[in-house]
């Protein structure tokens, strides 16, 4: 056709191949990579009809070059106005690997193997968050096994120093919003990631109240995969995102950007609102193997589309600052 060649991938993703002259390349690339609202905003700001290469197009609108992945009509205008495009998170900014599983629950690699893989990749810390006791299907940890795992972590921390493994758990958010261990066990973790894994069929009101209860629990430090979606197979539940983000800010809870390519949850469209509210977000691989650590790349891709800044990315903190965040949070919540 005049618009070029079109097809659909086996996964249902539309593809287009457009043939252009060298002179047309810049303008066609600009128009086909930005959302209609982004393109319209650039046209509105331009003093003359759009032409030339992409850099010239943005210059004509009084803007710095905005890369294709950010052309969403979301965060780019504020970031450009504040000269912050260079402060958007990159993979190399991440200093620690948060939310990981080991052979203690349903992971394929041992604690030592996960830690050594992180060290080899240049990371400073690993937050190990195996499944909690409710996740029986995933080898969730009964209380005795939590205590045993903590002993292994302490031994490895002596051996692998200055690298550090943080004691964490991915605690199931139960139907009433409570976590699935008693307080005397929850307080033994450095930080708790709270996630929904069961009874996912909820209306927005139920989803919101269930997550709100978990966020208000003083032991919850990070809210995991906020909607439970699995891309291409499960839409997930739809809580009131603004209410949950506001509650997380009020309670000193970070929200995960789950980097598993089938999750990418919290969705990047909510990142600008979350940044405006001062929320800390954490790009987590939810790794169930050494190979899974590499999924952080996909989380960074999604976070960049929402314009997430380094300054609001929890695991961009170096070890000492991350330790301080953990200890300050515990002190503020009165956790011994």
Same domain, 60 and 105: no
pLDDT value at residue 11: 83
Examine residue 106 and state whether it is found in any structural domain, yes or no.
yes
Instruction: Give the integer Cα–Cα distance in Å for 192 and 311.
Output: 22
Ramachandran sector of residue 34 (left: φ over 0; alpha: ψ -120 to 50; beta: rest): beta
Q: Is there a contact between 210 and 173 (Cβ–Cβ < 8 Å)? A: yes
DSSP string, 244-275: HHHHHHHHT-EEEEE-STTT-BS-GGGHHHHH
Examine residue 195 and state whether it is found in any structural domain, yes or no.
yes
Instruction: Give the integer Cα–Cα distance in Å for 224 and 100.
Output: 12
pLDDT digits 0-9 by tens, 93-118:
999 999 999 999 999 999 999 999 99
Q: How confident is the model at residue 3 (pLDDT cuts 50, 70, 90)?
A: low
Q: Nearest-CA neighbor of 283 among 315, 238, 305?
A: 315
Q: Nearest-CA neighbor of 139 among 103, 87, 176, 164?
A: 103
Q: SS3 for 80?
A: helix
Examine residue 80 and state whether it is found in any structural domain, yes or no.
no
Does residue 182 surpass a pLDDT of 50? yes
Domain boundary among 46, 73, 100: 73
pLDDT digits 0-9 by tens, 205-257:
999 999 999 999 999 999 999 999 999 899 999 999 999 999 999 999 999 99
Examine residue 173 and state whether it is found in any structural domain, yes or no.
yes
Residues of the chain with pLDDT > 90: what percent? 93
What rounded mean pLDDT belongs to the chain? Answer: 96
Q: How confident is the model at residue 13 (pLDDT cuts 50, 70, 90)?
A: confident
Q: Report pTM.
A: 0.95
Q: Is there a contact between 194 and 217 (Cβ–Cβ < 8 Å)? A: yes
Same domain, 109 and 165: yes
Number of domains composing the chain: 2
Mean pLDDT of 292-310: 98
Q: Which residues contact 65 (CB under 8 A, 6 or more apart)?
A: 54, 55, 58
- Domain range for 180: 91-332
Does residue 1 surpass a pLDDT of 50? no
Instruction: Give the integer Cα–Cα distance in Å for 165 and 106.
Output: 18
Q: Is there a contact between 66 and 58 (Cβ–Cβ < 8 Å)? A: yes
What CATH number is given to the structural domain containing 125?
A: 3.20.20.140
Same domain, 290 and 181: yes
DSSP assigned state of 315? G
Does residue 270 surpass a pLDDT of 70? yes
Same domain, 99 and 58: no
């Amino acid at each position: 056709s005049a618009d070029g060649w079109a097809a659909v991938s086996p996964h249902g993703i539309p593809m287009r191949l457009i043939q252009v002259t060298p002179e047309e390349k810049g303008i066609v690339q600009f128009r086909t990579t930005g959302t209609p609202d982004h393109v319209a905003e650039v046209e509105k700001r331009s003093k003359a009809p759009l032409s030339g290469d992409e850099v010239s197009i943005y210059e004509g609108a009084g803007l710095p070059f905005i890369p294709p992945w950010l052309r969403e009509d979301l965060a780019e205008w504020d970031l450009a106005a504040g000269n912050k495009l260079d402060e958007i998170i990159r993979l190399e900014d991440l200093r620690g690997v948060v939310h990981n599983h080991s052979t203690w629950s349903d992971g394929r690699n041992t604690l030592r193997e996960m830690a050594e893989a992180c060290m080899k990749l240049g990371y400073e810390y690993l937050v190990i968050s195996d499944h909690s006791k409710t996740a029986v299907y995933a080898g969730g940890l009964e209380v005795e096994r939590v205590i045993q795992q903590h002993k292994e972590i302490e031994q490895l921390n002596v051996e692998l120093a200055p690298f550090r493994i943080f004691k964490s758990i991915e605690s199931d958010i139960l139907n009433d919003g409570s976590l699935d261990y008693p307080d005397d066990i929850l307080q033994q973790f450095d930080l708790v990631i709270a996630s929904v894994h069961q009874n996912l069929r909820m209306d927005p009101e139920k989803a919101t109240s269930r997550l709100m209860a978990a966020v208000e629990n003083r032991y919850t430090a990070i809210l995991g995969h906020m909607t439970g979606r699995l891309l291409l197979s499960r839409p997930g539940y739809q809580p009131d995102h603004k209410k949950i983000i506001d509650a997380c800010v009020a309670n000193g809870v970070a929200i995960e950007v789950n980097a598993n390519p089938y999750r990418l949850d919290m969705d990047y469209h909510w990142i600008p609102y979350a940044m405006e509210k001062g929320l800390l977000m954490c790009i987590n691989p939810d790794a169930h193997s050494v190979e899974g650590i590499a999924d952080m790349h996909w989380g960074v891709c999604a976070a960049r589309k929402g314009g997430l800044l380094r300054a609001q990315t929890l695991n961009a903190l170096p070890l000492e600052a991350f330790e301080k965040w953990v200890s300050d949070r515990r002190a503020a919540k009165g956790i011994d």
